[in-house]
Amino acid sequence: MATTGWLLAVVNQKGGVGKTTTAVNLAAELAAQGDEVLLVDADPQANATSGLGFSPTNLAHNLFEVLQDECSIEEAIIPSGRVHLHLIPASIDLAGIDLLFATRIARETVLRTLLTPLCEQYQWIIIDTPPSLGLLTINALVAANGLIVPLQCEYYALEGLSRLMQTIDLVRQHLNPSLEIWKVLLTMYDSRTKLGEQVEAEVRKFFGAKVARTVIPRNVRVGEAPSFGQPVVEYDPRSRGAVAYKAFAQEVKEYGASRSR
């Protein structure tokens, strides 16, 4: 049976807010539940690639080569070593894309053109994006049906978000009318401080029902997992961080099921 999968991008131009952790764990959990998943690492830092246990410098092909027409997208897809989960790895060369694409025609739609046909094979395509609003992030916004926006539960959580919202609006107006924020996800929540509660209240007031019910706690196991090349849902499935990411994956699935296409 042909599936028409969802293409989700995990975005926030701030670094260190939990984008990669969210992309990797969402992908791993959806795959563990039996859905066919493709994780696309679109960040030159390649943290999603290493987070699944791959060394970005040792791989035959990667997203950069695909974008440069040096290999096909099919050639760049590698089995992750987990059932139902595939990966398109990143490499540091992606850092040069903004310059290399400066004069390329239709440069904002390259990723959409490449990934949309793959929605026939995968129920979920999840793109991890860099901490900037550069061309890679724009390409992810143009390709995506839905966005996951992780927000770190810290004092400046909402700072810079108006620029992200403006960018999303522009992409919606010009290139991707159906683009929608699926979930805003509160990450690294520290229940020992009042600050977490305050940030949560503020974010829920601002985004309303878009905010996921699940809040991801700050949890050492989440921070440890990448150094073992594993998502925390695999590294320590019973840890608080893993349990939260599993609940979040469930919310995302439910949201997908509630959407008509």
Residue 62 binds which one of ligand ADP, Mg ion, none, with CB within 5 to 8 A depending on kind? none
Verify binding: residue 19, ligand ADP, rule CB under 6 A.
yes
User: Which amino acid, residue 184?
Assistant: V
Closer of 122 and 235 to ligand ADP (Cβ): 235
| Structure-block tokens of residue 93 | 């060369």
Residue 18 binds which one of ligand ADP, Mg ion, none, with CB within 5 to 8 A depending on kind? ligand ADP
Backbone torsions φ then ψ of 124, nearest 5 degrees: -140, 130
Residue with tokens 């859905």: 35
Q: Which of residues 167-206 bind ligand ADP (CB under 6 A)?
A: 187-188
- Enumerate residues 6+ apart whose C-beta is below 8 A from 249: 25, 26, 29, 30, 33
Residue 226 binds which one of Mg ion, ligand ADP, none, with CB within 5 to 8 A depending on kind? ligand ADP
Strand partners, 209: none
Closer of 131 and 134 to ligand ADP (Cβ): 131
Closer of 94 and 119 to Mg ion (Cβ): 94
CA distances to 28, 128, 170 from 139, in Å:
23, 11, 13
**Rounded CA separation 218/93 (Å):** 32
Closer of 17 and 179 to ligand ADP (Cβ): 17
Verify binding: residue 214, ligand ADP, rule CB under 6 A.
no
Strand partners, 7: 125
- Enumerate residues 6+ apart whose C-beta is below 8 A from 113: 106
Closer of 119 and 141 to ligand ADP (Cβ): 141
Closer of 36 and 241 to ligand ADP (Cβ): 241
**Rounded CA separation 85/29 (Å):** 9
Least distance to ligand ADP from the beta carbon of 3, Å? Answer: 28
Calculate the CA 206 to chain-centre distance.
Answer: 22
Verify binding: residue 91, ligand ADP, rule CB under 6 A.
no
Cβ atoms of 151 and 183 closer than 8 Å: no
Least distance to Mg ion from the beta carbon of 34, Å? Answer: 26
Least distance to Mg ion from the beta carbon of 65, Å? Answer: 21
Residues that bind Mg ion (CB under 5 A): 19-20, 47
Chain positions contacting ligand ADP, by CB under 6 A: 15-21, 47, 131, 187-188, 216, 218-219, 222-223, 226, 241
